[in-house]
Each structure stands twice: as C-alpha cells, then as structure tokens.
Amino acid sequence: MLRGRSLPRCQALRPRVLPRTLRSRLIAGLVVLLVVTCAAVGFATTAALRHFLVDRLDQQLADSGGRYAASLEHGGQGGDTRAQAPGTFGARLLDGRVTAAGVVDGDADDADDPNDDDRVALSPAGRRALAALPAGGPARTVDLGGATGPYRVRAVAGRDGDVLVSGLPLRQVEDTVDRLVTLELTVFALAAAGAGVAGALWVRWSLRPLDRVARTAEQVAALPLASGAVTLAARVPDDDPRTEVGRVGAGLNRMLDHVGAALARRHAVEERLRAFAADASHELRTPVAAVRGHAELALRHPGEVPGPVRHSLERISAEAGRMGTIVEDLLLLARLDAGRPLLDEEVDLTRIALDALADARAAGPEHRWRLALPEEPVLVRGDTLRLSQVAANLLANAHRHTPPGTEVELGLACAGELVLMTVADNGPGIAPELAERVFERFVRGDRARSRATGSTGLGLSIVRAVVRAQGGEVELLSGPGRTVFAVRLPAAPPA
C-alpha cells in the first residue's frame, strides 16, 4: 500500500465504472449500441416530424393569404376573418411600428363577427421581432412573449403601404413533438431493458465454451505441478477448429499434453535420482563405517605406531566420520523426498532451544550467543530429533559463515496458531543472488561469507525439508549487517 499518496480520481474510479469481465463488457456494449441507435432514431424521427408539422404551418400561412391581418386595416374592414383557425395571429405594421395586433379566439357563437378577435398586448421584444420581418420573406418563428408563446409568422405587403403579419401558434406542434418524445423514451427504455436481459442470456449461452476453457485452466492451475507425480487429466471439451474458442481449446489441450509429458519425464528422472541417492547412501553406510572402525582399531594398537602413520589414520577416521555424516544427511533427504512421515509427538521447543544454544556456545566460544524465550514453554507437534537438527543446523550455519565476535540470537515466539523460531545475526549478510538458492542442496557460501568451513551445503536443505514435513515454512531475510532465518511451525493444540 502506498502511504501519503492518493491515486488520481480517474484511476480510482476506473475499476468501479468500467466492467471487467468479457461477459459484462459485451452486454454493456450491446446496451450502449442499442441506446445510441434508439437515440439516433428518436432524434431523426422527432426532427422529421417537427419539420413536417412546421412546413404544414407554413403552407397554411401561405394559403390564408393574410386575410386576418388584412382585417385589421381600416378599422376591421380590410379583410375577411371567416374560416380562420382559432389562435391565428394578425398584426399591422406601419413605418416599423405595430398599430394593431390580435388573435382569433375559438368562440363559435361569434363566428360571423368580422371583429371576432382578442386584442393582444405585445412585449417590446415581440414588437421588435415583428418589425424586423421582411415583407414577402419566408415564414419565421417568433416568440411574441406573454402567454401566447412562439408563433410561426409571415409578413406580406399591405394595400396602404403597411405590412401585414399573419401567424399560427406552434403550441400544437410542440405538444405533438413532446408526446412523440415521451412515447419514444418509453418504448426505447423498454426495448433497451428487454434487449439487455435477452442479450445477457444470449451472451451467457454463447460464452459457455469459454467458461469451460477457464474452468479447465483453473483446475490445472490448482494442481501441485512442482511436487511429485501429477496427472493432467483435465482437458477442454470444446476443440472444434471452426470456432475461435475451439481453436483456443485445441491449443490448450495440446499444451496440456506437452506439459503432462514433460512432467512425467521430469518425475521419472527425479525418481531415478532419488533412488540412486538413497541406494548409494545406503550402500555407502557399511563401507564407510568399516573404514572408520578399522582406522580407530589401528589407532588403538598397543604396539609402536610411527608418527606419520598415526596422522594418516587420524585423518582417515576424521574423513570417514565426515563422509558418514554426509551419507546420513542424504538418506534423510531421500526419506523426506519419498514422503515418509516423521514422528508426531509433543515437542518442547524451549528445551530444544536451550540445548542447541549450549552446544553452539561450546562449539563457537568466539561468537556472542543470545537467547530470547517467552515466559511460558513453547510447544509444537512434531519430531523432537528432527526439530533439534533444524535448530542445530541454523546455529551452525550462523557460526560457520560469520566472523568471530558476531552476535547470534536464537528466539522463540507465539503468534496465534503459529510458533516462530528465528536465528538472527549481525554478520555481513548474504548476497541477493545467493539468497535465492540458499535452501538448495550443495549450495555453499558466497563472497560475503567464509568458504573455509568444510560445509557440505546440505544443512539448510535439511532445515527446509524437515520444516515442510512438519507442516511449516522457513524463509530468509538478509541485508548488510542483518540476517534472519525464520521458521514458522503450527502450534500444538491445547491439552
């Protein structure tokens, strides 16, 4: 987690806004395309209907010939107002000023009255808009202000040098367009919802082969491919080369065949190597013990033994003992590789830590040894002998690869259901390139640590193998001036 910094808002919201799965993206894309298409169709039909209705109004204005506006000349004697649609607007302009303006009302009782109109009071903006109309020009939309609303008006030249303006209200056009928009929104919303549900079902059905591919990959990913013999029985059922998913499935099946064959060959090689190591170690135990026994027997000979011969016999005995230790370590690793269980008993790690540190202090008095233990005994379930070997190997590793005067601390701690055993030193540390391989077999020290140790390179390998066999884990944390080996083991359940 980054502290003291905040992601930009667009980055913070992107995972929540954008769909992640292919299914959700396809459904979202389908719905978006449908919405865009419906919006385009609605906009086109609304614009076309509005244009059509406005054209009809313009045609009605042209057919009326400005009769109602002409009736405003000469005190209402200038034209015939009959057959004029209710709401028809008329105005007379003289020298750019509106001298009269009215709207035909819808009173049927006064249909024969030539003066059947409602005089209207125009706003200043409406008067200016009427004054700007060119005589004989096309119809325009003008907002007359007040409650009259927008009108479609057209100006023609009168007989007395004036300008006569006729207009029809746009309210019916706007109402018709609004009703169409409401209907379209309702229909399009239902269509989008229905298409979303149907699209989700269709996409889900169409992506079933891809789901089977994903499930097969998840099954293979869950297999312990790095340990032992693994049977890759999972295969993708969809391998039709005529489909995209079928080609992916066929390719994945071929890859699984190759991986399965490679794993089988690797397992066979590992089994042969393990069998060879176990057999060789087992066969070497007897001759090594015989060599060591004869060397010790010769050293106990009561007769005079020349100095060079005694020295050679002592070296033979020492090397035979060292070889016996290597053989025993190899046998232990072979047993652990074969999965043979260790003992399952209650182990007092506190006692093991005390004994291991005492042995390490005796073997390396030039180091400073420290012990950090809790007040209560630390108990685990496992093999006492092997866990003692883990502690001894970690302390011996710190002793061999750090200079005299280094402080080495063995600590125990309880962390919930886990027990933590650490061996820390303030030595020069382990190089990063070696730290990645430090638990491998026959890996010895590096430039940062002494090589004159006689180490076999099996101690840390045994530590990891034993800890894993006991259900735990071991890790290394190293840097200049600080190296920590941390062993985590399951705590013993309460009695």
The more confident residue out of 198 and 285 is 198
Going by their DSSP bridges, the two strands 407-415 and 368-372 should be labelled as parallel
Contacts within 8 Å (CB) and 24+ apart, 247-256:
248/210, 248/213, 249/209, 249/212, 249/213, 252/213, 252/216, 252/217, 256/220, 256/232
Model pLDDT for residues 342-383, shown as the tens digit of each residue? 888 999 999 999 999 999 999 999 999 999 999 888 999 989
8 Å CB contact between 101 and 90 = yes
What pLDDT score does 18 carry? 64
Residue range 88-107: mean pLDDT, rounded: 76
Own/partner pairs, 146-152, CB within 8 angstroms, 24+ separation: 146/120, 146/121, 146/122, 148/89, 148/103, 148/120, 150/174, 151/89, 152/54, 152/57, 152/58, 152/61
> How far does CA 261 lie from the centroid of its chain?
33
Q: Give the C-alpha separation, 197 to 200, whole Å.
A: 5
Q: Give whichever of 16-25, 44-53, 125-134 has the largest mean pLDDT.
A: 44-53
Token pair for 278: 């176990």
Q: What local confidence, expressed as pLDDT, does residue 495 receive?
A: 63
Structure tokens at 61: 């204005």
Alpha carbon distances (Å) from 136 to 89, 94, 130, 139, 166: 17, 15, 13, 9, 12
As a whole number of angstroms, the distance between CA 2 and CA 339 comes to 43
- Altogether, the residues listed in the chain come to a count of 495
Which alpha helices (DSSP H) does 222-243 contain, by range? none
The residue ranking higher by pLDDT, 13 or 490, is 490
Least confident of 15-24, 56-65, 174-183: 15-24
* Predicted TM-score of the model (pTM): 0.50
Residues 6+ apart with CB under 8 A from 38: 184, 188, 191, 192
Which of 35, 9, 146, 169 lies closest to 89, judged by CA? 169
413/119 Cα distance (integer angstroms):
100
Per-state percent for the chain, helix, strand, coil, to nearest 5: 50, 15, 30
**Whole-angstrom distance, CA of residue 161 vs CA of residue 366:** 126
**Separation of CA 389 from chain center:** 43
Give me the pLDDT at residue 410, please.
Answer: 94
Q: Which residue has the higher pLDDT, 332 or 187?
A: 187
Q: Which residues contact 149 (CB under 8 A, 6 or more apart)?
A: 143, 169, 170, 171
Q: Is the dihedral of CA 278, 282, 284, 285 positive or negative?
A: positive
Report residue 6: phi and psi, to 5°.
-125, 140
3-47 confidence digits (pLDDT tens):
444 444 444 444 455 667 777 888 888 888 888 998 999 999 999
